[in-house]
């Protein structure tokens, strides 16, 4: 298939799927896209086109990641952008080496454990904490992109920003998903502050409708500046000054300073890799809990013959029980390891066997308690159940040289803090910290601390077989991300599903509490049987945004979650 044919398909796919609202979970029966050389799977066709064009010009996956993220910032601003943070896995095909990069936001240096508490020491209500500058952490996405581009890119930095600059000036059509998100967010004070109010709403105060044309000259100017000078204006120059001012002059002002911005650094961390069947499943380590929690779930399930069970009630029961145990450990132990001494044995084989023995195939356990892994120095915490809210975006890229990007990127809750400057929204990532700092006389690992990065559930993943990559995958979805991505890995590896079929498989989710079944899908058929096993079941919308590329028989297989507007395309 030639590149222009695939991009034509991309346009048709966007048109055909654009009338599904954000809670619609029915499959559109898209095909898996198969190409020979290179591919991008991302949340918006314009972002995919920007990335594929870079690859077609000879760029690497690192180059394409810059183009994709910048365009997503423009056309899907509610989910990610340079005002937020990200985690990236990068497979260097030449060195045959997996690298993982932490571009997570940081708390201001002045932040204390009482940052989200009132004068009486009581935690704030979630939305009271979100709206305004107080929830804004030091953004890391731009510095992450620049860092990886310098290591692995071969295209000019400015050239990678040009497509977004041009689209911002010329304008783009508001997608149905963006329009629906704006309308929903109006109830959560998206129209409280300028310039977000004027940007997302008409003069009469009504939210923009799908098909409206939207331009963003402020963002174009900011990107032009960044294109010439790199990330410096954002972290130490005029844009940095604007960010610090915007954070301080809004309702619920924050403490982020120019020194906080200037001191931000991307951290390269060790990948978290765990064996599963004949594969190695690799993800990102703390401060995201995604890689470790996924690895625990898969380890607990490796003792069961899921391939023979298929997507059945018995398989889902086992998955739910494994998820309960893993989320219990997540809540107790997982946080930014630069501030918290975590147990070293969370994936210890004997410990995993001990935890797996708690799973009864015939009856549901109550809420799971955290285990005691083999590292006594870490047993001083109380569990944190602060959930991340849905938001975020994910994209997967494979270039013609064999390099791979799996990147999950976010401004946290849809539209972040509602604070906007220079044409982009600022995150509300600090609300991923626990608002409570102590419980039962013990500190909570994910409490707020100055300079600390809040715990995340983002789970960018690359799967290997015999040392070679076979799958890049990830999803948005708040604290449900871990469930979404782990299930799809099982569907692809154990149940040998076609990639698109796997991504569209109805969701069954547990975060160590109720079991959620995706409404209006075949998942609801399991409700009675799961309840008979002792599960408390709720049927609800579960809106993932999975984007995946599999490498199989010398071909690239790409798919995008039918629940959203994304596509896969390549050449």
Instruction: Please identify every residue annotated as catalytic.
Output: 392
| b/e per residue 22-31 (b: at least 16 CB within 10 A) | bebbebeebe
In 3D, which of 449, 316, 327 has the Cα closest to residue 387? 327
DSSP 83: T
In 3D, which of 359, 290, 286 has the Cα closest to residue 324? 359
Compute the distance between CA of residue 264 and CA of residue 260 in angstroms, rounded to an integer.
Answer: 7
3-state secondary structure 499-547: HHHHHCCCCEEECCCCEEEECCCHHHHHHHHHHHCCCCEEEECCCCCCE
Token match 């590149």: residue? 3
**Dihedral in degrees, nearest 10, Cα atoms 194, 196, 200, 201:** -20
In 3D, which of 204, 198, 219 has the Cα closest to residue 70? 219
Burial of 545 (0-12, 13-18, 19+ CB in 10 A): buried
**Residue 456: which residues within 8 A CB-CB, separation 6 or more?**
87, 104, 287, 288, 289, 290, 388, 410, 432
Quote the tokens at residue 211.
């098909």
Quote the tokens at residue 166.
């041009």
Contact 319, 508 (CB under 8 A): yes
In 3D, which of 290, 458, 274 has the Cα closest to residue 282? 274
Quote the tokens at residue 525.
């058929």
In 3D, which of 41, 152, 91 has the Cα closest to residue 462? 91
């Amino acid at each position: 298939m030639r590149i222009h044919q695939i991009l034509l398909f991309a346009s048709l796919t966007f048109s055909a799927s654009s009338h599904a609202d954000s809670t619609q979970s029915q499959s559109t029966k898209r095909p898996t896209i198969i190409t020979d050389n290179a591919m991008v799977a991302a949340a918006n066709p314009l972002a995919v086109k920007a990335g594929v064009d870079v690859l077609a010009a000879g760029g690497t996956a690192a180059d394409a990641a810059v183009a994709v993220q910048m365009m997503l910032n423009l056309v899907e601003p509610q989910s990610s952008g340079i005002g937020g943070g990200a985690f990236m896995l990068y497979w260097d095909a030449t060195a045959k080496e997996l690298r993982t990069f932490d571009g997570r936001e940081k708390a201001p240096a002045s932040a204390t454990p009482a940052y989200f508490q009132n004068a009486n020491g009581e935690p704030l209500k979630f939305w009271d904490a979100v709206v305004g500058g107080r929830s804004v952490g030091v953004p890391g996405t731009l510095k992450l992109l620049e860092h990886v581009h310098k290591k692995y890119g071969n295209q000019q930095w400015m050239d990678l920003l040009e497509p977004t600059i041009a689209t911002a000036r010329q304008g783009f059509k508001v997608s149905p998903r963006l329009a629906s998100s704006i309308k929903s967010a109006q109830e959560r004070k998206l129209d409280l502050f300028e310039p977000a109010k004027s940007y997302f709403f008409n003069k009469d105060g009504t939210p923009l409708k799908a098909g409206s044309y939207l331009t963003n000259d402020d963002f174009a100017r900011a990107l032009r500046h960044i294109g010439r000078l790199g990330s410096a204006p954002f972290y130490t120059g005029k844009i940095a000054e604007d960010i610090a001012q915007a954070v301080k002059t809004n309702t619920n002002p924050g403490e982020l300073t120019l020194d906080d911005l200037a001191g931000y650094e991307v951290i390269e961390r060790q990948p978290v890799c765990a064996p599963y069947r004949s594969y190695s499943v690799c993800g990102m380590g703390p401060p995201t809990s995604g890689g470790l929690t996924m690895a625990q779930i898969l380890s607990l399930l490796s003792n069961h013959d899921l391939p023979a069970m298929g997507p059945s009630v018995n398989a889902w029961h086992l998955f739910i029980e494994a998820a309960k145990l893993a989320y219990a450990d997540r809540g107790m132990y997982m946080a930014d390891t630069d501030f918290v001494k975590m147990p070293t044995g969370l994936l210890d084989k004997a410990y995993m066997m001990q935890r797996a023995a708690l799973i009864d195939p015939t009856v549901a356990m109550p809420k799971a308690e955290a285990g005691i892994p083999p590292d006594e120095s870490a047993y001083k915490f109380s569990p944190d159940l602060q959930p991340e809210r849905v938001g975020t975006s994910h994209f997967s890229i494979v270039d013609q040289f064999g390099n791979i990007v799996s990147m999950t990127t976010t401004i946290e809750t849809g539209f972040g803090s509602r604070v906007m400057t220079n044409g982009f929204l600022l995150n509300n990532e600090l609300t991923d910290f626990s608002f409570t700092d102590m419980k039962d006389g013990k500190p909570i690992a994910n409490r707020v601390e100055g300079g600390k990065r809040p715990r995340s559930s983002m789970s960018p993943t690359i799967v290997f077989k015999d040392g070679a990559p076979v799958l890049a995958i990830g999803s948005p979805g708040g604290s449900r991300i871990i469930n979404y991505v782990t299930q799809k890995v099982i569907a692809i590896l154990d149940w040998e599903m076609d990639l698109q079929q796997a991504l569209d498989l109805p969701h069954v989710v547990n975060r160590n509490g109720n079991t959620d079944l995706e409404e209006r899908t075949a998942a609801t058929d399991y409700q009675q049987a799961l309840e008979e096993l002792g599960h408390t079941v709720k049927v609800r919308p579960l809106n993932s945004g999975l984007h995946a590329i599999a490498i199989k028989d010398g071909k690239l297989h790409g798919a995008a979650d039918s629940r959203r507007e994304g596509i896969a395309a390549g050449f």
